[in-house]
């Protein structure tokens, strides 16, 4: 009976009770009930009226009938009675008996007892109940006088009359009721056909309406003529509403999908950003930030659980050289491979991070509960990582060999914060480097103290440079005849608290930190200014010179030569008045480069002495190639000259080498006349030492060792 186009969604299952309730409360049944009640009430009303009317009509009819009897038969009956005409009397009564509802007719004559009188003749049945008697007096007029002969009694069947009236009323009720019921049924069908089933269908469609299903429809399947009725309009309105809703729903779905995609993209971007924020772009290892977060976490866990862990600070050896020599791309590839090897060599719960450059940190939580055990485990892991890194790394066609210096700090003992712990592992790593690299070193607190002291010294030194608190001392250089032919400039730093700090303590530190470049420049400037003054005043003769110590790093510094030449030019000091003392360390790393640089300066007339000669390699092979002008025999060989034959032999050999390569030879640290005599006897041309003079400040030096100034 469903007149809708396919409506999707199942009709919900209902119990019999529910169905009955729905039926009872439906428009159709209620309409019928209303109709039936209304028609019943009207029918009953009409029947009552009808009944009443019938009664009245019967009564009226009876009155008319009585009148007719009176007019038509009464005189004839009185006459027949008068005449004793029995036949006529009987005939007349028989005619009266024919009247409607007449049950019996009788003639009574007056009796002396009175009452009803005596029965003369009766026709019909008079012994039935419910009879009503109408009395008509029988009078015969004779000679102007009325003679009462008796009465004519007509006995009407009142019960039959009433029955008849009821009967007719009942008929009316039945007919009316039947018609009413029939009309109700027809109406029900019509209402059902035209209204309720469509309403039900619409209700079902609305109940099962699915926003997402485009096949859903509220259009009714009914023959349409004209513009349609209210139900069509409701259906049309619902259909319009459905289209609108589904359009809105589709829009919503589309917007939702776009939004979802947007959110997903945003989440991805956020995840990427989050990842980038916590990972190193090159190796994809966790970065410093993530590492510090994890360390802080693991420190807390270690404190709580009473277990120890280790932090390995891993620094690749000579990575800078590799990077410079083979290019950054190769360097990057090596770093990626190193990262992979480190990662592979650790447990799942360990974390390896890249701090930057060639520095990595491995965090190894929960290695045990006893320090010794944990240290052993940490060393095992460190050695394992070093072994893994030692395997050759092939990049393109090249094979690289990498080693690493590893510093180990145990936690929570070696540091209560992430910063401390990393710093301490870093300190230990530096120690490993100092021990010749490719080694593992554990953090020790006293080492840290030493390092901290060094840091303090370094910052003090920076301040000293800024405040011009450095000084240059001069120590005379004398020739075979004891004449001062020049001096060595030696740096002095008088610390406000520590007093005079010997250069042996702070120069290596300057070298490490790079501060030596600034310090060296300062020394050169102040020496050149001094030389200029001394030469101008004639205190320093044209043949005399000052030798200045140049540290390897300073010498290798880009633009060192140019700056020196510019300074010479500025101070109008001839290059011949300057000797540069360099150590073998300058030449060791890159001999060709060193030779080129030396040669350039020598071409300008600047001389070079190899300082501390004999303590390093001092090989003939490179001495032959070096464009040097002199050698300085290290003080250590001079000290025991008289007693140690080996030292004497070395000094002899150096003197022979100097003669062979035509180099000036200076003996340092000559403290006694015996040493001086020995050296002079063997032809050592230049001598330096406390025996001839200690390093003293410029004014004292000038006063004690230089010419008296020319009067201006």
List interacting residues with ligand C2E (CB under 6 A): 475, 490-491, 502-504, 507, 520, 523, 549-551, 581, 611-612, 635, 668-671, 688-690, 695
What tokens does 409 get? 């700090």
Q: Which of 414, 584, 612, 647 binds Mg ion (CB under 5 A)?
A: 612
Query: What distances in angstroms separate CA 376 from CA 380, 409, 428, 704, one per listed residue?
Result: 6, 12, 16, 63
Per DSSP, 4 falls in state: B
Query: Which of the ranges 235-243, 258-266, 455-463, 545-553 carries the binding residues for Mg ion, by CB under 5 A?
Result: 545-553
CB of 574 to ligand C2E, least distance (A): 21
Comparison of 314 and 631: residue with beta carbon closer to ligand C2E? 631
Comparison of 65 and 611: residue with beta carbon closer to Mg ion? 611
Comparison of 600 and 672: residue with beta carbon closer to ligand C2E? 672
Name beta bridge partners: 613. 633
Q: Which of residues 642-681 bind Mg ion (CB under 5 A)?
A: 668
Report the alpha-carbon distance of residue 117 to residue 108 in Å, rounded: 6
Q: What is the DSSP string of 641-679?
A: TTT-HHHHHHHHHHHHHHHHTT-EEEE----SHHHHHHH
CB of 668 to ligand C2E, least distance (A): 6
Tell me, by CB under 5 A, how many residues bind Mg ion. Answer: 5
Q: Count Cα neighbours of 653 within 13 Å in the Cβ-side half-sphere.
A: 12
CB of 695 to Mg ion, least distance (A): 11
CB of 295 to ligand C2E, least distance (A): 40
The partner in contact with residue 153, picked from Mg ion, ligand C2E, none with C-beta cut-offs of 5 to 8 angstroms by kind, is none
Comparison of 323 and 549: residue with beta carbon closer to ligand C2E? 549
* Cβ-defined contacts of 209-217 (< 8 Å, 24+): 209/9, 209/242, 210/8, 210/9, 211/245, 211/246, 211/249, 212/249, 212/253, 213/8, 214/246, 215/6, 215/8, 216/7, 216/8, 216/242, 216/246, 217/4, 217/5, 217/6, 217/7, 217/242
From residue 180 to residue 219, what is the string marking binding to Mg ion with x (rule CB under 5 A)?
----------------------------------------
Q: Where are the alpha helices (DSSP H) in 491-581?
A: 503-513, 515-536, 552-556, 560-571
Comparison of 486 and 669: residue with beta carbon closer to ligand C2E? 669
Q: Which of 317, 350, 581, 629 binds Mg ion (CB under 5 A)?
A: 581
Buried b (16+ CB within 10 A) or exposed e, 98-121: ebebbbbbbbbeeeeeeeebeebb
The partner in contact with residue 504, picked from ligand C2E, Mg ion, none with C-beta cut-offs of 5 to 8 angstroms by kind, is ligand C2E
From residue 215 to residue 254, what is the string marking binding to Mg ion with x (rule CB under 5 A)?
----------------------------------------
Contacts with 688 (C-beta within 8 Å, 6 or more apart), sequence order: 475, 476, 477, 478, 488, 632, 666, 667, 668, 669, 670
What tokens does 680 get? 């002079």
611 is a contact residue toward Mg ion (CB under 5 A): yes
- Give the pairing of strands 404-411 and 308-316: antiparallel
Q: Where are the alpha helices (DSSP H) in 537-612?
A: 552-556, 560-571, 584-588, 591-603
Query: Which of the ranges 252-260, 309-317, 461-469, 610-618 carries the binding residues for Mg ion, by CB under 5 A?
Result: 610-618
CA 620 to chain centre: 68
CB of 626 to Mg ion, least distance (A): 17
Q: Which residue has the tokens 């924020």?
A: 277
Contacts with 8 (C-beta within 8 Å, 6 or more apart), sequence order: 208, 210, 213, 215, 216
The partner in contact with residue 54, picked from Mg ion, ligand C2E, none with C-beta cut-offs of 5 to 8 angstroms by kind, is none
Comparison of 421 and 550: residue with beta carbon closer to ligand C2E? 550
The partner in contact with residue 448, picked from Mg ion, ligand C2E, none with C-beta cut-offs of 5 to 8 angstroms by kind, is none
The partner in contact with residue 475, picked from ligand C2E, Mg ion, none with C-beta cut-offs of 5 to 8 angstroms by kind, is ligand C2E
Comparison of 46 and 480: residue with beta carbon closer to ligand C2E? 480
Report the alpha-carbon distance of residue 667 to residue 655 in Å, rounded: 10
CB of 311 to ligand C2E, least distance (A): 36
Show the CA angle centred on residue 702, arms to residues 701 and 704, nearest 5°: 65
Query: Which of the ranges 143-151, 362-370, 605-613, 697-705 carries the binding residues for Mg ion, by CB under 5 A?
Result: 605-613
Comparison of 410 and 676: residue with beta carbon closer to ligand C2E? 676
The partner in contact with residue 280, picked from Mg ion, ligand C2E, none with C-beta cut-offs of 5 to 8 angstroms by kind, is none
584 is a contact residue toward Mg ion (CB under 5 A): no
> Coil, strand, or helix at residue 444?
coil
CB of 268 to ligand C2E, least distance (A): 57
What tokens does 619 get? 């090989």
CB of 490 to Mg ion, least distance (A): 7
CB of 448 to Mg ion, least distance (A): 32
The sign one gets for the Cα dihedral 456, 458, 459, 464 is positive
Per DSSP, 71 falls in state: I
Contacts with 343 (C-beta within 8 Å, 6 or more apart), sequence order: 285, 352
The partner in contact with residue 350, picked from Mg ion, ligand C2E, none with C-beta cut-offs of 5 to 8 angstroms by kind, is none
The partner in contact with residue 379, picked from ligand C2E, Mg ion, none with C-beta cut-offs of 5 to 8 angstroms by kind, is none
Q: Where are the alpha helices (DSSP H) in 345-370?
A: none
Contacts with 583 (C-beta within 8 Å, 6 or more apart), sequence order: 552, 610, 611, 612, 616
CB of 515 to Mg ion, least distance (A): 19
Comparison of 120 and 525: residue with beta carbon closer to ligand C2E? 525
Comparison of 130 and 502: residue with beta carbon closer to ligand C2E? 502
CB of 691 to ligand C2E, least distance (A): 6
Report the alpha-carbon distance of residue 102 to residue 558 in Å, rounded: 160
The partner in contact with residue 689, picked from ligand C2E, Mg ion, none with C-beta cut-offs of 5 to 8 angstroms by kind, is ligand C2E
Show the CA angle centred on residue 571, arms to residues 568 and 574, nearest 5°: 50
Question: Is the separation of the CB atoms in 120 and 108 below 8 Å?
Answer: yes
CB of 585 to Mg ion, least distance (A): 12
From residue 66 to residue 95, what is the string marking binding to Mg ion with x (rule CB under 5 A)?
------------------------------
CB of 494 to ligand C2E, least distance (A): 13
The partner in contact with residue 630, picked from Mg ion, ligand C2E, none with C-beta cut-offs of 5 to 8 angstroms by kind, is none
Query: Which of the ranges 383-391, 444-452, 544-552, 691-699 carries the binding residues for Mg ion, by CB under 5 A?
Result: 544-552
Name beta bridge partners: 490. 473
Q: Which of 549, 554, 571, 618 binds Mg ion (CB under 5 A)?
A: 549
The partner in contact with residue 523, picked from ligand C2E, Mg ion, none with C-beta cut-offs of 5 to 8 angstroms by kind, is ligand C2E
Comparison of 335 and 550: residue with beta carbon closer to ligand C2E? 550
CB of 406 to Mg ion, least distance (A): 35
CB of 547 to Mg ion, least distance (A): 7
Residues that bind Mg ion (CB under 5 A): 549, 581, 611-612, 668
């Amino acid at each position: 009976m469903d007149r809708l186009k396919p409506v999707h969604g199942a009709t919900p299952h209902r119990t019999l009770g529910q169905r009955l309730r729905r039926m009872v409360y439906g428009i159709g049944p209620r309409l019928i009930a209303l109709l039936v009640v209304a028609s019943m009430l009207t029918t009953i009303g009409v029947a009552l009226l009808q009944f009443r009317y019938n009664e009245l009509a019967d009564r009226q009819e009876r009155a008319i009938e009585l009148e007719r009897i009176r007019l038509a038969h009464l005189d004839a009956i009185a006459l027949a009675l008068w005449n004793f005409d029995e036949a006529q009397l009987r005939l007349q009564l028989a005619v009266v008996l024919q009247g409607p509802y007449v049950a019996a007719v009788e003639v009574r004559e007056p009796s002396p007892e009175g009452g009803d009188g005596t029965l003369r003749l009766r026709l019909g049945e008079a012994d039935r109940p419910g009879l009503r008697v109408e009395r008509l007096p029988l009078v015969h007029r004779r000679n102007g006088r009325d003679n009462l002969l008796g009465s004519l009694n007509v006995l009407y069947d009142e019960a039959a009359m009433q029955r008849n009236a009821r009967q007719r009323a009942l008929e009316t009720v039945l007919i009316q009721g039947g018609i009413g019921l029939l009309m109700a049924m027809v109406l029900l069908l019509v209402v059902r056909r035209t209204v309720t089933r469509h309403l039900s269908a619409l209700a079902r469609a609305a109940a099962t309406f699915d926003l997402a299903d485009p096949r859903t429809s509220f259009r009714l399947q009914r023959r349409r003529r004209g513009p349609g009725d209210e139900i069509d309009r409701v259906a049309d309105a619902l259909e319009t509403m459905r289209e609108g809703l589904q359009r809105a729903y589709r829009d919503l779905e589309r917007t939702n999908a776009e939004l979802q995609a947007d959110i997903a993209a945003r989440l991805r971007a956020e995840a990427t950003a989050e990842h980038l924020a916590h990972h190193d772009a090159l190796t994809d290892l966790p970065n410093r930030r993530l590492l510090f977060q994890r360390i802080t976490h693991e420190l807390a866990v270690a404190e709580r659980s009473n277990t120890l862990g280790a932090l390995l600070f891993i620094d690749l050896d000579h990575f800078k050289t590799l990077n410079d020599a083979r290019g950054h791309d190769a360097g990057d590839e090596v770093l990626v491979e190193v990262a992979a090897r480190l990662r592979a060599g650790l447990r799942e719960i360990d974390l390896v991070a890249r701090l930057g450059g060639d520095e990595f940190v491995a965090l190894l939580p929960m290695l045990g509960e006893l320090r010794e055990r944990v240290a052993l485990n940490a060393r095992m892991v460190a050695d394992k990582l070093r072994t893994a890194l030692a395997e050759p790394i092939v990049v393109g066609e090249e094979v690289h060999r990498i080693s690493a210096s590893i510093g180990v700090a145990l936690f929570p003992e070696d540091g209560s914060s992430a910063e401390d712990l990393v710093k301490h592992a870093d300190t230990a790593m530096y120690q490993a480097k100092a021990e010749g690299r490719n080694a593992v070193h554990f953090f020790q607190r006293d080492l840290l103290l030493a390092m901290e002291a060094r840091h303090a010294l370094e910052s003090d030194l920076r301040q000293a440079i800024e405040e011009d608190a450095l000084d240059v001392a001069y120590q005379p250089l004398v020739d075979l005849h004891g004449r001062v032919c020049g001096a060595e400039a030696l740096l002095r730093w008088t610390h406000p608290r520590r007093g005079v700090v010997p250069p042996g303590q702070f120069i290596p530190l300057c070298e490490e930190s790079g501060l030596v470049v600034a310090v060296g420049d300062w020394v050169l400037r102040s020496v050149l200014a001094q030389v200029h003054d001394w030469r101008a005043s004639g205190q320093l003769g044209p043949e005399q010179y000052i030798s200045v110590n140049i540290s390897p790093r300073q010498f290798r510094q880009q633009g060192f030569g140019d700056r020196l030449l510019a300074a010479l030019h500025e101070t109008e000091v001839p290059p011949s008045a300057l000797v540069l003392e360099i150590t073998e360390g300058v030449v060791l790393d890159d001999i060709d480069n060193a030779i080129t640089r030396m040669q350039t300066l020598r071409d300008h007339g600047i001389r070079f002495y190899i300082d501390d000669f004999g303590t390093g390699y001092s090989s003939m092979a490179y001495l032959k190639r070096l464009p040097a002008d002199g050698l300085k025999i290290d003080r250590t060989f001079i000290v025991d000259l008289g007693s140690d034959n080996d030292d004497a032999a070395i000094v002899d050999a150096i003197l022979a080498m100097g003669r062979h390569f035509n180099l000036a030879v200076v003996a340092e640290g000559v403290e006694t006349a015996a040493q001086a005599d020995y050296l002079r006897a063997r032809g050592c041309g230049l001598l330096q030492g406390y025996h001839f003079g200690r390093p003293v400040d410029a004014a004292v030096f000038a006063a004690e060792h230089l010419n008296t100034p020319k009067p201006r």
